[in-house]
Amino acid sequence: MSHKGRAAGPIIALVVAMGENRAIGRGGKLPWRLSSDMRYFREITMGKPIIMGRRTFKSLPRVLDGRLNIVLTRHLGFVAPDAVMAHSLEEGLEAAQRSAERTGAEEIMIIGGEDVFREVLPQARRIYLTEVHASPDADTWFPTLDPNQWREISREAHPPGPKDDHAFSFVVLDRAQT
C-alpha cells in the first residue's frame, strides 16, 4: 500500500494478539491457545525482519524460520544462535531496515513484548491486531491506543477453530494521516 508523502521503504508494523482487557501475556507465555492466530502470525511475518524483546524470544521454542530474528536486550552477554542481538531499539530498527532493503520486505514486524510495543508505538504505522474475545488473567498488557491516531482498515471475525480457546477477530489498523 502506498501512503502519499511518506518516504519509500519499509513501515514499522506491530503484530499482537490482545484480549478484550488488553492482556497479551502471563508467566512468559500467551494466556490462551489459538492455533488459527499462530498460522496468521506466520503468514503475515514470513520473509520480513521481526524485532522482539529478550523475554519474548526466550518464550519461543526456537528462532522463527524464514525471517530475520532481531532480539532487543540490555544484557550484553545474552546470545541467541541464529538471531541478531541489538542493544537498543534504534540498533534493532537499523538492522531490520538493512535486511528489508536487501530482501525487498515492505514491513518491519514488531512482535513484543509489552516494553518493546510501548517504546516503538510512536514510530509504528500499522498494527496487525488479533482481538481475542476473552479477558484472561495476565501480567503483561498492550498499551492503550489513542482512537484518534488509528483507523481500522479491515476486520475479519472468526469463531474458535478446533485448536482455539476463544473466538477472535483479525483487525488491521493504520495510523491516521495527520
**What is the DSSP track for 22-52?**
-EEEBTTB-SS-BHHHHHHHHHHHTTS-EEE
Q: What is the Cα–Cα distance from 153 to 172, expressed in whole angstroms?
A: 6
22-80 pLDDT per residue, tens: 999 999 999 999 999 999 999 999 999 999 999 999 999 999 999 999 999 999 999 98
Residue 80 per-residue DSSP state: -
Distance between CA atoms of residues 91 and 13, nearest Å: 17
With a pLDDT cut of 90, the percent of the chain lying above it is: 92
Task: Flag whether pLDDT at 4 surpasses 60.
Answer: no
**107 in any annotated domain:** yes
Domain that holds residue 55: 11-175
Residue 2 has pLDDT above 60, yes or no: no
Distance CA 32, CA 170 (A): 16
Residue pLDDT, tens place only, 49-61: 999 999 999 999 9
What sign does the dihedral 25-30-32-37 (CA atoms) show?
positive
Q: What's the CATH code of the domain at 164?
A: 3.40.430.10
Dist CA 51 CA 166 (whole Å)? 27
Confidence of residue 3 (pLDDT cuts 50, 70, 90): very low
Cell 492503550 appears where? Answer: 144
Number of domains comprising the chain: 1
* pTM of the shown model: 0.93
147 in any annotated domain = yes
The answer to whether residue 5 is domain-embedded is no
What sign does the dihedral 46-51-55-56 (CA atoms) show? Answer: negative
Q: What span, in angstroms and rounded, lies between the C-alpha atoms of 153 and 78?
A: 39
Return the C-alpha cell found at 67. 525471517
The answer to the question of residue 166 being in a domain is yes
pLDDT per residue as tens digits for the range 139-170 = 999 999 999 999 999 999 999 999 999 999 99
Confirm whether 6 is domain-assigned. no
Q: Is residue 137 part of a domain?
A: yes
> In the chain, which ranges are continuous DSSP H helix?
35-45, 54-59, 89-103, 114-120
Per-residue pLDDT tens digits for 116-140 = 999 999 999 999 999 999 999 999 9
User: Does 2 map to a domain?
Assistant: no
How many beta carbons lie within 10 A of that of residue 2, not counting itself? 6
Does residue 1 belong to any structural domain of this protein? no
